[in-house]
Amino acid sequence: MNEHFPDVPTIPFEGPQSDNPLAFRHYNADEQVEGLAMKDHFRFAVAYWHTFRGTGQDPFGAPTMQRPWEAPADSVDNAKRRAEAAFEFISKLGAPFYCFHDRDIAPEGETLKETNANLDAVVDTLERLQEATGVRLLWGTANLFSNPRFMHGAATSCNAETFAYAAAQVKKALEATLRLGGENYVFWGGREGYATLLNTDMKRELDHLGAFFHMAVDYAQKIGFTGQFLIEPKPMEPTKHQYDFDAAACVAFLKTYGLDEHFKLNIETNHATLAGHTMGHELETAAMHGLLGSIDANRGDTLLGWDTDQFPTDIYLTTEVMLIVLKHGGLAPGGFNFDAKVRRESFEPIDLFHAHIGAMDAFARGLKIAAAIRADGALDEMLTARYSSWDSGLGAQIESGELGFEELERLMLEKGEPAANESGRQELFENVVNRFI
Ligand code: XUL
Ligand code: CO
């Protein structure tokens, strides 16, 4: 496989001193960190939609990307050639996984029947390429947002036949994911939301969404798909009010509809920031409910208010993410999917390598830094000390449920004032992290 990126070798690990732009300086797949190989900590995936379907088109300008393998008009043959290019790229990069939407990998036909046949034909090719390269499918999903039929939503549409079409589409996408050995299946609620309550029955729409997910769980059980289901929170874009606003809203939704046994969350950095949160906040919220499933790794731009889907290069961010992921015991069967696109101005195929190499290295550094912080232990000791009033005496009695308002009132009437507060030492906590960066 050396047809589409003939000038690029398999990307080697050369170490931090290397100035070779086509080498890893930190990501060393088999290097052990906390007893696990880096490749198993991350389970990196390439996002088919951005990397192989992104054109560089924006609301103000035409496509810019040079993709020599693309024919002027899409077809099943073109989709198969694109898949060859994709697998050459992913293998040379050394990412173990990829992710797709059904409509990324194969073109829509005139009818659902024709569309399904197109999908089957390309899935045959993907199956062969997976076998030839060893690249695996981290997750599949259905695109329930691009086609105009989904303008009012898919599972939350006011049009019952649109709901039925979405169900048929997810059924087929689940079958394709099962056939390709996908380890997860994702739902991002692209147009599951609304613009105005004047024309929206919110409760009815959410009931439909809950029912839709139960149908997916039932069908997965029927066909023997044992992968992990994931919901991906996002607060806005394309709709004004997205139902899956953030991790907290998704947790509440899953629990309300009795779905929390079957689903976890796929947390995306730029979605967290659009919701007014940090990535750390969203990861911790999901994890503390036992619902952290997978990560869509990217970043936004603090000066731009939309979903810029940039490749992550910020070492503070990757350190924060890895501290939380390590604390909660890792992500498998989830992984780190680069839901990120090269800038419109970075239009050459080689830019796809620069983007992914930089992001994998940024996460590898974050992992090494986080492991060093954990091995040192000072940060953890400071955190434990901050809560020490809860470890014995009064705090322990409150936590164990022995005391109520009356006992606590009696105690405070006696004491008059609680013990003096200690400094929060935020600056010192930040300095300890910086010691390792
Ligand atoms: C959209 C987004 C999607 C999902 C998959 O913002 O993140 O690409 O990850 O549908
Ligand atoms: Co995403």
Q: Answer whether 43's CB lies under 8 Å from 184's CB.
A: no
Cis check: omega of the bond before 418, within 30 degrees of 0: no
Which numbered atom of ligand 1 lies nearest the CA of 307? 6
| Residue 242, strand partner residues | 193
Question: Would the CB of 234 count as within 6 Å of ligand 1?
Answer: yes
Ligand nearest to the CA of 268: 2
Q: Is 338 helix (H, G, I), strand (E, B) or coil?
A: strand
Three-class HEC string of 31-73? CEECCEEHHHHHCEEEEHHHHHHCCCCECCECCCCCCCCCCCC
Question: Would the CB of 188 count as within 6 Å of ligand 1?
Answer: yes
- Which pLDDT tens digit goes with each residue over 316-328? 999 999 999 999 9
Cα torsion 367, 369, 375, 377: sign: negative
Question: Would the CB of 104 count as within 6 Å of ligand 1?
Answer: no
Q: How far apart are CA 290 and CA 164, in angstroms?
A: 32
| Smallest CA separation from ligand 1 atom 7, residue | 339
Ligand 2 mean position to 188 CA, how many Å?
Answer: 7
Q: How far apart are CA 294 and CA 196, in angstroms?
A: 32
Query: Catalytic pick from 4, 26, 101, 289?
Result: 101
E strands of 213-272, at which residues? 228-232, 241-242, 263-268
Stretches where the chain sits below pLDDT 50 are none
Question: Would the CB of 296 count as within 6 Å of ligand 1?
Answer: yes
Ligand nearest to the CA of 154: 1
Full-prediction pTM beyond 0.85? yes
Question: Would the CB of 307 count as within 6 Å of ligand 1?
Answer: yes
Q: How far apart are CA 220 and CA 189, in angstroms?
A: 19
Catalytic residue list contains 30: no
Pocket mutation for ligand 1, best pick of 100, 177, 191, 234 (most atoms within 8 Å of C-beta): 234
Burial of 352 (0-12, 13-18, 19+ CB in 10 A): buried
Ligand 1 mean position to 188 CA, how many Å?
Answer: 6
Contacts of 429 by beta carbon, 8 Å cutoff, 6+ apart: 379, 382
Q: Answer whether 292's CB lies under 8 Å from 330's CB.
A: no
E strands of 103-238, at which residues? 136-141, 184-188, 193-194, 228-232
Candidates 435, 331, 378, 380; CA nearest to 36 is 331
Q: What is the pLDDT of residue 156?
A: 98
- The phi and psi torsions of 113 (rounded to 5 degrees) equal -60, -45
Catalytic residue list contains 7: no
Q: What is the pLDDT of residue 1?
A: 82
